Amino acid sequence: MDLKTLRDTAPWEWPENTDELLIEILSKGAVDAQDRLLAVELAGDPAVINDALAEALLGVIKNNQEKDNVRGMAAISLGPALEHADMMGFEDEDDVVISENLFRQIQQSLRELYAKNELPELVRRRVLEASVRAPQSWHHEAVRSAYAGVKDNWRLTAVFCMQFIAGFEEEIIESLNNTDELIHYQAVVAAGNWEVDEAWDHIAKLVRSDKTEKNLRLAAIEAIANIRPEDAGEILGALLESKDDDVADAAHEALVMAEGLAEFDDDEFDDDEDEKAPF
Protein backbone atom coordinates (compact mmCIF):
# COMPACT_ATOMS: atom_id res chain seq x y z
CA MET A 1 0.00 0.00 0.00
CA ASP A 2 1.51 3.36 -1.04
CA LEU A 3 1.24 6.67 0.83
CA LYS A 4 -1.64 8.11 -1.16
CA THR A 5 -3.67 4.93 -0.62
CA LEU A 6 -2.90 5.14 3.10
CA ARG A 7 -4.06 8.74 3.14
CA ASP A 8 -7.39 7.73 1.59
CA THR A 9 -7.85 4.69 3.83
CA ALA A 10 -9.21 4.71 7.38
CA PRO A 11 -6.26 4.23 9.81
CA TRP A 12 -7.87 1.18 11.42
CA GLU A 13 -7.72 -0.50 8.03
CA TRP A 14 -4.01 0.13 7.47
CA PRO A 15 -1.77 -2.94 7.05
CA GLU A 16 0.14 -4.15 10.10
CA ASN A 17 3.48 -3.16 8.57
CA THR A 18 2.46 0.48 7.97
CA ASP A 19 4.85 1.71 10.66
CA GLU A 20 7.75 -0.06 8.90
CA LEU A 21 6.79 1.55 5.58
CA LEU A 22 6.71 5.01 7.14
CA ILE A 23 10.01 4.52 8.98
CA GLU A 24 11.64 3.41 5.72
CA ILE A 25 10.44 6.56 3.96
CA LEU A 26 11.53 8.83 6.81
CA SER A 27 14.96 7.23 6.94
CA LYS A 28 15.61 7.95 3.27
CA GLY A 29 17.00 11.27 2.16
CA ALA A 30 15.89 11.28 -1.46
CA VAL A 31 12.11 11.15 -1.31
CA ASP A 32 9.64 13.35 -3.16
CA ALA A 33 8.93 16.43 -1.02
CA GLN A 34 5.16 15.93 -1.00
CA ASP A 35 5.53 12.24 -0.17
CA ARG A 36 7.87 13.10 2.69
CA LEU A 37 5.43 15.66 4.05
CA LEU A 38 2.59 13.14 3.83
CA ALA A 39 4.70 10.46 5.51
CA VAL A 40 5.47 12.60 8.56
CA GLU A 41 1.81 13.54 8.81
CA LEU A 42 0.64 9.92 8.73
CA ALA A 43 3.36 8.81 11.14
CA GLY A 44 1.69 10.64 14.01
CA ASP A 45 -1.60 8.78 13.71
CA PRO A 46 -2.53 6.90 16.91
CA ALA A 47 -3.03 3.76 14.81
CA VAL A 48 0.71 3.47 14.10
CA ILE A 49 2.74 5.72 16.38
CA ASN A 50 5.30 3.85 18.47
CA ASP A 51 8.82 4.41 19.79
CA ALA A 52 10.49 3.74 16.45
CA LEU A 53 8.25 6.14 14.54
CA ALA A 54 8.46 8.78 17.27
CA GLU A 55 12.26 8.60 17.16
CA ALA A 56 12.15 8.92 13.38
CA LEU A 57 9.95 12.00 13.65
CA LEU A 58 12.27 13.54 16.23
CA GLY A 59 15.17 12.90 13.86
CA VAL A 60 13.33 14.76 11.09
CA ILE A 61 12.74 17.76 13.36
CA LYS A 62 16.43 17.94 14.27
CA ASN A 63 17.66 17.55 10.68
CA ASN A 64 18.72 20.92 9.27
CA GLN A 65 18.70 19.45 5.77
CA GLU A 66 14.94 18.85 5.86
CA LYS A 67 12.52 21.43 4.52
CA ASP A 68 10.97 23.65 7.17
CA ASN A 69 7.40 22.51 6.49
CA VAL A 70 8.44 18.86 6.82
CA ARG A 71 10.23 19.52 10.11
CA GLY A 72 7.23 21.47 11.36
CA MET A 73 4.81 18.71 10.43
CA ALA A 74 7.01 16.15 12.16
CA ALA A 75 6.72 18.18 15.36
CA ILE A 76 2.95 18.46 15.06
CA SER A 77 2.74 14.70 14.48
CA LEU A 78 4.43 14.08 17.84
CA GLY A 79 1.87 16.23 19.65
CA PRO A 80 -0.93 13.66 20.07
CA ALA A 81 1.47 11.01 21.38
CA LEU A 82 2.85 13.48 23.92
CA GLU A 83 -0.64 14.43 25.06
CA HIS A 84 -1.73 10.80 25.34
CA ALA A 85 1.35 9.86 27.36
CA ASP A 86 0.91 12.87 29.64
CA MET A 87 -2.76 12.08 30.30
CA MET A 88 -2.65 8.28 30.52
CA GLY A 89 0.73 7.67 32.11
CA PHE A 90 2.70 4.46 31.66
CA GLU A 91 1.32 1.96 34.18
CA ASP A 92 -1.19 0.24 31.89
CA GLU A 93 0.61 -1.34 28.93
CA ASP A 94 -2.58 -1.21 26.85
CA ASP A 95 -2.58 2.59 27.11
CA VAL A 96 1.10 3.14 26.26
CA VAL A 97 1.84 4.46 22.77
CA ILE A 98 5.41 5.59 23.47
CA SER A 99 7.68 4.57 26.33
CA GLU A 100 8.25 6.85 29.31
CA ASN A 101 11.96 7.16 28.57
CA LEU A 102 11.28 8.31 25.02
CA PHE A 103 8.51 10.63 26.21
CA ARG A 104 10.98 12.38 28.52
CA GLN A 105 13.61 12.46 25.79
CA ILE A 106 11.21 14.09 23.34
CA GLN A 107 10.15 16.66 25.93
CA GLN A 108 13.77 17.60 26.61
CA SER A 109 14.68 17.68 22.93
CA LEU A 110 11.76 19.95 22.05
CA ARG A 111 12.66 22.31 24.85
CA GLU A 112 16.26 22.49 23.66
CA LEU A 113 15.14 23.06 20.07
CA TYR A 114 12.77 25.85 21.08
CA ALA A 115 15.58 27.59 22.97
CA LYS A 116 17.50 27.97 19.70
CA ASN A 117 16.57 31.38 18.32
CA GLU A 118 18.30 30.48 15.07
CA LEU A 119 15.82 27.67 14.43
CA PRO A 120 13.63 28.51 11.42
CA GLU A 121 10.56 30.38 12.62
CA LEU A 122 8.03 27.88 11.31
CA VAL A 123 9.86 24.97 12.92
CA ARG A 124 10.23 26.82 16.22
CA ARG A 125 6.53 27.66 16.30
CA ARG A 126 5.56 24.05 15.57
CA VAL A 127 7.94 22.78 18.25
CA LEU A 128 6.18 24.97 20.82
CA GLU A 129 2.74 23.93 19.56
CA ALA A 130 3.67 20.26 19.86
CA SER A 131 5.44 20.47 23.20
CA VAL A 132 2.54 22.14 25.05
CA ARG A 133 0.47 19.02 24.50
CA ALA A 134 2.36 17.75 27.57
CA PRO A 135 2.68 20.97 29.62
CA GLN A 136 5.87 21.83 31.50
CA SER A 137 6.88 24.75 33.71
CA TRP A 138 8.77 26.57 30.93
CA HIS A 139 5.75 26.79 28.68
CA HIS A 140 3.97 29.61 30.49
CA GLU A 141 6.73 32.12 29.83
CA ALA A 142 7.23 30.85 26.27
CA VAL A 143 3.53 31.31 25.46
CA ARG A 144 3.39 34.72 27.11
CA SER A 145 6.43 35.84 25.11
CA ALA A 146 4.94 34.52 21.85
CA TYR A 147 1.67 36.37 22.53
CA ALA A 148 3.46 39.63 23.30
CA GLY A 149 5.36 39.55 20.00
CA VAL A 150 4.56 41.81 17.08
CA LYS A 151 3.98 39.01 14.58
CA ASP A 152 0.48 37.62 14.08
CA ASN A 153 1.80 34.13 13.33
CA TRP A 154 3.46 33.98 16.76
CA ARG A 155 0.28 35.29 18.37
CA LEU A 156 -1.65 32.55 16.58
CA THR A 157 0.76 29.96 17.98
CA ALA A 158 0.37 31.47 21.45
CA VAL A 159 -3.44 31.37 21.40
CA PHE A 160 -3.37 27.79 20.14
CA CYS A 161 -1.09 26.90 23.06
CA MET A 162 -3.45 28.58 25.52
CA GLN A 163 -5.91 25.72 25.18
CA PHE A 164 -3.30 23.53 26.90
CA ILE A 165 -1.63 25.99 29.29
CA ALA A 166 -3.62 27.50 32.16
CA GLY A 167 -3.49 31.12 33.29
CA PHE A 168 -4.37 33.05 30.13
CA GLU A 169 -8.05 33.92 30.53
CA GLU A 170 -7.44 37.62 29.93
CA GLU A 171 -5.54 36.94 26.71
CA ILE A 172 -8.18 34.47 25.53
CA ILE A 173 -10.95 37.05 26.02
CA GLU A 174 -8.87 39.65 24.20
CA SER A 175 -8.28 37.25 21.32
CA LEU A 176 -12.01 36.62 20.85
CA ASN A 177 -12.12 40.12 19.38
CA ASN A 178 -9.12 39.63 17.12
CA THR A 179 -9.94 40.23 13.46
CA ASP A 180 -7.65 37.39 12.38
CA GLU A 181 -10.01 34.46 11.73
CA LEU A 182 -7.48 31.82 12.79
CA ILE A 183 -6.68 33.55 16.07
CA HIS A 184 -10.40 34.03 16.74
CA TYR A 185 -11.01 30.33 16.14
CA GLN A 186 -8.24 29.25 18.51
CA ALA A 187 -9.52 31.66 21.16
CA VAL A 188 -12.97 30.03 20.99
CA VAL A 189 -11.40 26.60 21.45
CA ALA A 190 -9.27 27.81 24.36
CA ALA A 191 -12.25 29.51 26.03
CA GLY A 192 -14.17 26.25 25.86
CA ASN A 193 -11.31 24.15 27.16
CA TRP A 194 -10.84 26.38 30.23
CA GLU A 195 -14.55 27.11 30.74
CA VAL A 196 -14.01 30.86 30.50
CA ASP A 197 -17.37 32.19 31.67
CA GLU A 198 -16.69 35.72 30.43
CA ALA A 199 -16.63 34.32 26.88
CA TRP A 200 -20.21 33.02 27.13
CA ASP A 201 -22.04 35.90 25.42
CA HIS A 202 -19.56 36.09 22.55
CA ILE A 203 -19.58 32.36 21.87
CA ALA A 204 -23.35 32.00 22.30
CA LYS A 205 -23.78 34.63 19.59
CA LEU A 206 -21.53 32.62 17.27
CA VAL A 207 -23.55 29.49 17.93
CA ARG A 208 -26.90 31.17 17.25
CA SER A 209 -25.90 32.89 14.01
CA ASP A 210 -26.28 31.08 10.70
CA LYS A 211 -23.78 33.57 9.30
CA THR A 212 -20.94 32.23 11.47
CA GLU A 213 -18.31 30.44 9.39
CA LYS A 214 -18.99 26.72 9.71
CA ASN A 215 -15.76 25.52 11.36
CA LEU A 216 -15.92 28.40 13.82
CA ARG A 217 -19.55 27.60 14.61
CA LEU A 218 -18.72 23.94 15.24
CA ALA A 219 -15.95 24.97 17.63
CA ALA A 220 -18.33 27.39 19.37
CA ILE A 221 -20.95 24.65 19.78
CA GLU A 222 -18.48 22.46 21.61
CA ALA A 223 -17.14 25.37 23.65
CA ILE A 224 -20.54 26.51 24.90
CA ALA A 225 -21.29 23.07 26.28
CA ASN A 226 -18.14 23.27 28.38
CA ILE A 227 -18.54 26.84 29.61
CA ARG A 228 -22.08 26.62 31.01
CA PRO A 229 -23.37 23.09 30.55
CA GLU A 230 -26.46 23.84 32.63
CA ASP A 231 -27.47 26.70 30.28
CA ALA A 232 -26.36 25.24 26.96
CA GLY A 233 -29.44 23.10 26.32
CA GLU A 234 -31.73 25.88 25.16
CA ILE A 235 -29.23 27.22 22.63
CA LEU A 236 -28.06 23.84 21.37
CA GLY A 237 -31.52 22.32 21.25
CA ALA A 238 -32.53 24.82 18.60
CA LEU A 239 -29.81 23.43 16.33
CA LEU A 240 -30.85 19.79 16.45
CA GLU A 241 -33.10 20.29 13.43
CA SER A 242 -30.52 22.28 11.47
CA LYS A 243 -30.48 21.64 7.73
CA ASP A 244 -26.70 21.31 8.04
CA ASP A 245 -26.07 17.76 9.24
CA ASP A 246 -22.66 18.68 10.67
CA VAL A 247 -24.18 21.43 12.79
CA ALA A 248 -27.02 19.16 13.97
CA ASP A 249 -24.60 16.35 14.83
CA ALA A 250 -22.26 18.73 16.67
CA ALA A 251 -25.20 20.13 18.66
CA HIS A 252 -26.33 16.64 19.59
CA GLU A 253 -22.85 15.61 20.75
CA ALA A 254 -22.44 18.85 22.69
CA LEU A 255 -25.81 18.37 24.39
CA VAL A 256 -24.82 14.89 25.52
CA MET A 257 -21.55 16.29 26.85
CA ALA A 258 -23.32 19.21 28.55
CA GLU A 259 -25.77 16.90 30.28
CA GLY A 260 -22.91 14.75 31.54
CA LEU A 261 -21.00 17.77 32.82
CA ALA A 262 -24.10 19.19 34.50
CA GLU A 263 -24.76 15.88 36.27
CA PHE A 264 -21.11 15.73 37.35
CA ASP A 265 -21.34 19.24 38.81
CA ASP A 266 -24.55 18.29 40.66
CA ASP A 267 -22.87 15.19 42.08
CA GLU A 268 -19.91 17.28 43.24
CA PHE A 269 -22.26 19.72 44.92
CA ASP A 270 -24.11 16.88 46.66
CA ASP A 271 -20.83 15.39 47.87
CA ASP A 272 -19.78 18.77 49.28
CA GLU A 273 -23.08 19.10 51.11
CA ASP A 274 -22.72 15.59 52.54
CA GLU A 275 -19.28 16.45 53.87
CA LYS A 276 -20.70 19.53 55.61
CA ALA A 277 -23.67 17.70 57.11
CA PRO A 278 -23.40 17.10 60.88
CA PHE A 279 -25.07 13.67 60.55
Q: Is residue 43 part of a domain?
A: yes
205 plus 131 within the same structural domain? no
Could you give the CA distance from residue 23 to residue 246 in angstroms, rounded to a whole number?
36
203 plus 85 within the same structural domain? no
DSSP string, 224-246: HHHH-TTTHHHHHHTTTT-SSHH
128 plus 244 within the same structural domain? no
Q: Is residue 31 part of a domain?
A: yes
**89-99 confidence digits (pLDDT tens):** 998 888 889 99
104: containing domain: 1-136
Q: Annotate 131-157 with b (16+ C-beta within 10 A) or e (fewer).
A: bbbbbeeebbebbbebbeeeeeebbbb
Could you give the CA distance from residue 226 to residue 189 in angstroms, rounded to a whole number?
10
- Sign for the CA dihedral angle at 112, 113, 119, 120 comes to negative
> CA-CA-CA-CA torsion for 249, 254, 256, 262, nearest 10 degrees?
-170
Looking at the chain, the whole-number percentage of residues with pLDDT higher than 90 is 80
φ/ψ of 86, rounded to 5, equals -65, -35
Query: Rounded to an integer, what is the distance from CA 208 to the centroid of its chain?
Result: 25
pLDDT at 267: 52
126 plus 3 within the same structural domain? yes
Of 116, 136, 156, the last residue of a domain is: 136
Average pLDDT, stretch 219-242?
93
pLDDT at 33: 83
**104-142 confidence digits (pLDDT tens):** 999 999 999 999 999 999 999 999 999 999 999 999 999
**180-217 confidence digits (pLDDT tens):** 999 999 999 999 999 999 999 999 999 999 999 999 99
Of 86, 111, 136, the last residue of a domain is: 136
126 plus 246 within the same structural domain? no
Provide the terminal-to-terminal Cα distance of the chain, rounded to the nearest Å.
Answer: 67
Q: How confident is the model at residue 30 (pLDDT cuts 50, 70, 90)?
A: low
φ/ψ of 208, rounded to 5, equals -70, -30
pLDDT at 29: 65
123 plus 220 within the same structural domain? no
Average pLDDT, stretch 73-89?
95
CB 227 within 8 A of CB 192: yes
Q: What is the reported pTM?
A: 0.89
